[in-house]
Amino acid sequence: MVHRVAVIGAGPSGLASIKACPDEGMVPTCFECTIHLGGLWRFKEVSEPNRASIYHSLTINASKEMMCYSDFPIPADYPNYMHHSKILKHLKLLKQYLQTNLLYCRPDFSRTGQWEVVTENRDGQEQRHVFDAVICCSGHYTYPNLPLKDFPGTDTFNVNVTQILQSDAGAER
């Protein structure tokens, strides 16, 4: 049974994962590389390196009823099709995240069946953590890190995973 779960990313998918884990008997710890939650919904005048940004006047094209969590509704006084600032304000109400920078995450399946997660705190000190599972919610608007050499057998896999992932990442830019 999986108990401790590392959730990588505090955007909408990471927050949804954090919210769902306790219902499944899992204890989540979220790692976010910025000091903010909300992921793409946090507008930035100047985009951060290797990250996309929404535009200042963006309004969502899905209704708030379709976008909200089933047990965490968006306030009734919010417009049906919200400006990005309202979405971020709503997401900030789910403040369960750990402010830290993820350095790397690697499986230790052969020995323990768990994951080693190494982080760096604000003071630059590395910390090692062990988790039973990892949920990667780093978003699809960042450049991928493909540590395929860490997964035995990828070189003999029938499909060239690297080319597919790189071409998908290039198409999104």
Mean pLDDT by 10 residues, the chain (173 residues): 84 84 88 74 73 78 83 85 84 58 76 84 82 85 68 69 58 50
This prediction has a pTM of: 0.65
**Residue 68 burial by Cβ neighbours in a 10 Å radius (0-12, 13-18, 19+):** middle
Same domain, 43 and 122: yes
Same domain, 166 and 155: yes
- Residue 168: its pLDDT value, please? 55
- Residue 98: its pLDDT value, please? 45
Same domain, 148 and 138: no
- Residue 81: its pLDDT value, please? 92
What is the C-alpha separation between 23 and 17, in angstroms, rounded?
A: 10
Same domain, 113 and 153: no
Same domain, 112 and 161: no
**Tokens 């978003």 label which residue?**
139
CA geometry: angle 58, 59, 64, nearest 5 deg: 145
User: Is 134 in contact with 109 (CB distance < 8 Å)?
Assistant: no
Same domain, 125 and 73: yes
Same domain, 157 and 83: no
Strand segments, DSSP code E, in the chain are: 4-8, 27-32, 98-99, 101-108, 114-120, 126-131, 133-136
- Residue 97: its pLDDT value, please? 40
Same domain, 104 and 154: no
Residues whose CB falls within 8 Å of the CB of residue 104, separated by 6 or more in sequence, listed in order: 117, 118, 147
Q: Output the domain CATH number for residue 137.
A: 3.50.50.60
DSSP lists the bridge partners of residue 5 as 28, 133
Same domain, 35 and 101: yes
- Residue 141: its pLDDT value, please? 66
Same domain, 88 and 128: yes
- Residue 72: its pLDDT value, please? 76
Query: In which domain, by residue range, is 149 found?
Result: 144-173
